[in-house]
Amino acid sequence: DIVMTQSPDSLAVSLGERATINCKSSQSVLYSTDNKSYLAWYQQKPGQPPKLLIYWASTRESGVPDRFRGSGSGTDFTLTISSLQAEDVAVYYCQQYYNSPVTFGPGTKVEIK
Amino acid sequence: EVQLVQSGGGFVQPGGSLRLSCAASGFTVSDNYMSWVRQAPGKGLEWVSVIYSGGSIYYADSVKGRFTISRDNSKNTVYLQMNNLRAEDTAVYYCAKGGHCSSISCLNDYWGQGTLVTVSS
């Protein structure tokens, strides 16, 4: 199975400041045939199911604010929240869907400083 | 509008059984990759099982031989039958619809509300 790791485990950011979350896969999730990395990002708020934010590493799901940006390719990925809002307090997970089984990172908790 | 409404779950003793249901609307279950993902209290997300549109089925090693995923096309519903439950199966269970896919797997673009399964004596 592909192992996903995330860093940091948690971070506290001031309102309006940037939050950066890293995700690494144990093997490449880049398909050479289409040059797409099969990496998704989810946001989970307390008591709610996860919500899809980003797919193919950098494509925002419909309705997701443009302050959320995904980047990276191959094995190293980043989710950036450019200007943290109060409603962004949540745990963020990366997931690879390149191979079976799909696997998730352990999550990064984002809080307000 | 796509919706996944879950039912079932609850409290069960070790060795017991439960069946979770996931009723879909706004799309056809049999045309989609449908999976179950669980989350132990205070922990991260763990994939449990998947049923592909073509009918192929796979399980996590931790539940293989104890859990069974199925679907009822007439009810547009996916099920997870859980037998011989253990304390470590205690979790919120989510059903989820597959979205963008690789040649093998799909991400999850819509999720049910989750249902808590507690296994304890």
> Band of the pLDDT at A75, cuts 50, 70, 90?
very high
| Nearest CA-CA distance, residue B72 and chain A, Å | 24
Residue A49 and residue A14 in contact, taking contact as beta carbons nearer than 8 Å: no
| Nearest CA-CA distance, residue B55 and chain A, Å | 16
Residues contacting B60, CB < 8 A, separation 6+: A101, B46, B47, B48, B49
Do β-strands B10-12 and B115-119 pair in parallel, antiparallel, or remain unpaired?
parallel
pLDDT score recorded for residue A109: 98
pLDDT score recorded for residue B61: 97
Q: Which of B52, B50, B103 is nearest to A29 (CA)?
A: B103
Residues of B in contact with A31 (CB under 8 A): 102-103
Q: What are phi and psi of A82, to 5 degrees?
A: -70, -35
Residues of A in contact with B109 (CB under 8 A): 52, 61
User: What Rg value do the Cα atoms of chain B yield, rounded?
Assistant: 14
> Band of the pLDDT at A40, cuts 50, 70, 90?
very high
CB pairs under 8 A between A and B: 70
| Nearest CA-CA distance, residue B92 and chain A, Å | 10
Mean pLDDT of the region B45-74: 97
Residue A2 and residue A99 in contact, taking contact as beta carbons nearer than 8 Å: yes
Mean pLDDT of the region B23-42: 97
Residues in chain A: 113
Q: Please give the Cα distance from B56 to A56 (Å, whole number).
A: 24
Q: Please give the Cα distance from B99 to B97 (Å, whole number).
A: 6
Residues of B in contact with A52 (CB under 8 A): 99, 107-109
Percentage of chain B beyond pLDDT 70 is 100
